[in-house]
């Protein structure tokens, strides 16, 4: 009988979003007429843009003719997409990332999990708190997290708290760590690392030879021109950082599935006998052995995002969501909530009125106002007492939610 990976047993009861689904399903069953506004899971709602649709249809046409049919593509992604990414997301902003350093994948969630294949046991992992739960969960599964403590923390993880007190800018650890996760704009708080803080992280990583996994899934939502979009805007970052990007939130691809991961050729890790080894060939080997490329029509759709029309359309798409964020932020502040985020990210991060816990707030909001949000504690212990609302609903539904929130706030 095969031994199982017992690290799975250490995971808390359920991944956050399925737990939310269960509670909402139960509520819906008991209240079938309730008109629920869903601002929980960070999923886009606007349709794909015309340029993306045209590229999809055209690629499907190609797949229907023997002369233009495409079977297996390069596992790392087609050159047309890797080149468009390198040029538009990096080179045009003065960042020297080459197409060979870009690996197209079917999602940043998948990349988060897959990247851990590169590392051996015994690494010290630092993870912001609160943050996208997949970083912790995948490290638990990989055996990097150790024992679950009573406070909800894993013994082997160095947590980097992000709170109102530190302006949601995680502090550098007081001891060396090997792998550091950073998420900017941060999911769920909406906080963005300043250029100075990002530089401090790169300096720390250079000093300790740490690898930073920099998740920039929401970079397209940054409005403040002073804030960095890519960690490679910082000198030296190519020696220490992997960057994750996604078309999910940028172009509405959550249902289409396309993302990418930048693994610079300068990045290195260590072997037990003390050699320093480049990581790029390892990731290439991992990618070509355990993955078979992203669907061809989807890669064409992603490339279309970089055309002038595609670019304009997704800017409008993001403007749409950010107008929601702006309205939510303002409206919630007006009725007395303490609100963060929503300025450079599609998430509103609000303080729950004491003594309400995050899940209590979730349940009350669902039952009283028929609004689904996400309990802050689901993103980590430091998220307790906070609550996330997403700006991804339609303008009308956002207005409806705000209206209900305002009425409800008067009662709470």
What does the alpha-carbon distance between residue 161 and residue 168 come to, in Å, rounded to a whole number?
A: 8
Question: Using the rule CB under 8 A, is 56 a contact of its own copies?
Answer: yes
Question: Using the rule CB under 8 A, is 25 a contact of its own copies?
Answer: no
Residue 128 Cβ, how far from its own copies at the closest point, in Å? 18
Selected binder of its own copies within 191, 261, 298, 372 (CB under 8 A) = 298
> Of 267, 226, 208, nearest to 243 (Cα)?
267
Residue 132 Cβ, how far from its own copies at the closest point, in Å? 11
Residues 206-245 contacting its own copies, CB under 8 A: 208-211
Determine contact, residues 185/222, Cβ cutoff 8 Å: yes
Residues 383-412 contacting its own copies, CB under 8 A: 394
Residue 7 Cβ, how far from its own copies at the closest point, in Å? 8
What does the alpha-carbon distance between residue 378 and residue 124 come to, in Å, rounded to a whole number?
A: 23
What does the alpha-carbon distance between residue 348 and residue 346 come to, in Å, rounded to a whole number?
A: 7
**Structure-derived torsion over alpha carbons of residues 365, 371, 372, 377, reported in degrees to the nearest 10:** -30
Question: Using the rule CB under 8 A, is 69 a contact of its own copies?
Answer: yes
Within 13 Å and on the Cβ side, how many CA atoms surround 235?
A: 1
Question: Using the rule CB under 8 A, is 10 a contact of its own copies?
Answer: no
Question: Using the rule CB under 8 A, is 110 a contact of its own copies?
Answer: yes
Question: Using the rule CB under 8 A, is 326 a contact of its own copies?
Answer: no
Residues 261-280 contacting its own copies, CB under 8 A: 268-272, 276-277, 279
Burial class of residue 300 (count of CB atoms within 10 Å of its CB; 0-12, 13-18, 19+): buried
Selected binder of its own copies within 113, 152, 173, 353 (CB under 8 A) = 113
Question: Using the rule CB under 8 A, is 364 a contact of its own copies?
Answer: no
Residue 206 Cβ, how far from its own copies at the closest point, in Å? 11
Question: Using the rule CB under 8 A, is 355 a contact of its own copies?
Answer: no
Query: How many Å is the Cα radius of gyration of the chain?
Result: 21
Task: Show the CA angle centred on residue 286, arms to residues 285 and 292, nearest 5°.
Answer: 100
Widest distance between CA atoms in the chain: 66
Question: Between residues 314 and 339, which has the closer beta carbon with respect to its own copies?
Answer: 314
Question: Using the rule CB under 8 A, is 6 a contact of its own copies?
Answer: yes
Question: Which residue is it, tokens 């939610």?
Answer: 401
Question: Using the rule CB under 8 A, is 173 a contact of its own copies?
Answer: no
Question: Between residues 86 and 251, which has the closer beta carbon with respect to its own copies?
Answer: 251
Question: Between residues 106 and 243, which has the closer beta carbon with respect to its own copies?
Answer: 106
Question: Between residues 9 and 174, which has the closer beta carbon with respect to its own copies?
Answer: 9
At a CB cut-off of 8 Å and minimum separation 6, what does 121 contact?
143, 144
Question: Which residue is it, tokens 């300790």?
Answer: 208
Q: Cα-flanking dihedrals φ and ψ of residue 49, to 5°?
A: -80, 160
Residues 117-156 contacting its own copies, CB under 8 A: 117-123, 134, 137-138, 141
């Amino acid at each position: 009988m095969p031994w199982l990976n017992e690290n799975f047993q250490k995971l808390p009861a359920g991944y956050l979003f399925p737990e939310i689904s269960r509670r909402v399903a139960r509520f819906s069953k008991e209240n079938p007429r309730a008109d629920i506004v869903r601002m929980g899971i960070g999923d886009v709602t606007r349709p794909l843009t015309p340029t993306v649709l045209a590229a999809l249809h055209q690629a499907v046409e190609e797949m229907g003719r023997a002369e233009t049919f495409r079977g297996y593509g390069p596992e790392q992604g087609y050159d047309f997409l890797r080149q468009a990414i390198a040029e538009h997301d990096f080179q045009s902003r003065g960042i020297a990332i080459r197409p060979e350093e870009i690996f197209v994948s079917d999602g940043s969630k998948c990349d988060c999990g897959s990247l851990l294949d590169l590392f051996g046991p015994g690494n010290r992992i630092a993870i912001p708190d609160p943050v996208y739960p997949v970083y912790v969960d995948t490290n638990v599964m990989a055996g990097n997290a150790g024992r679950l403590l009573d406070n909800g923390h894993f013994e082997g993880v160095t947590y980097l708290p992000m709170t109102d007190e530190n302006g949601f800018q995680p502090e550098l650890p007081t001891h060396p760590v090997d792998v550091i996760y950073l998420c900017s704009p941060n999911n769920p708080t909406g906080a963005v690392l300043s250029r100075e803080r990002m530089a401090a992280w790169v300096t720390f990583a250079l000093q300790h030879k740490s690898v930073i996994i920099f998740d920039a899934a929401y970079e397209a939502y940054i409005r403040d021109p002073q804030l960095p979009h890519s960690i490679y805007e910082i000198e030296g970052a190519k020696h220490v950082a992997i960057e994750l990007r996604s078309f999910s939130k940028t172009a509405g691809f959550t249902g289409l599935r396309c993302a990418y991961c930048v693994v610079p050729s300068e990045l290195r890790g260590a072997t037990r006998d003390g050699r320093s080894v480049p990581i790029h060939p390892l990731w290439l080997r991992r990618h070509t052995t355990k993955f078979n490329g992203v669907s061809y029509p989807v890669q064409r759709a992603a490339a279309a995002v970089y055309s002038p029309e595609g670019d304009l359309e997704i800017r409008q798409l993001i403007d749409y969501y950010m107008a929601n964020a702006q309205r939510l932020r303002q409206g919630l502040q007006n009725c007395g909530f303490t609100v963060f985020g929503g300025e450079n990210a599609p998430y509103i991060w609000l303080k729950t009125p004491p003594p309400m816990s995050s899940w209590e707030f979730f349940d009350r909001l669902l039952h009283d106002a028929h609004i689904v949000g996400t309990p802050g504690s689901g993103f980590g212990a430091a998220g307790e007492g906070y609550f996330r609302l997403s700006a991804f609903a339609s303008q009308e539904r956002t207005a409806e939610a705000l209206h209900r929130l305002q009425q409800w706030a008067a009662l709470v």
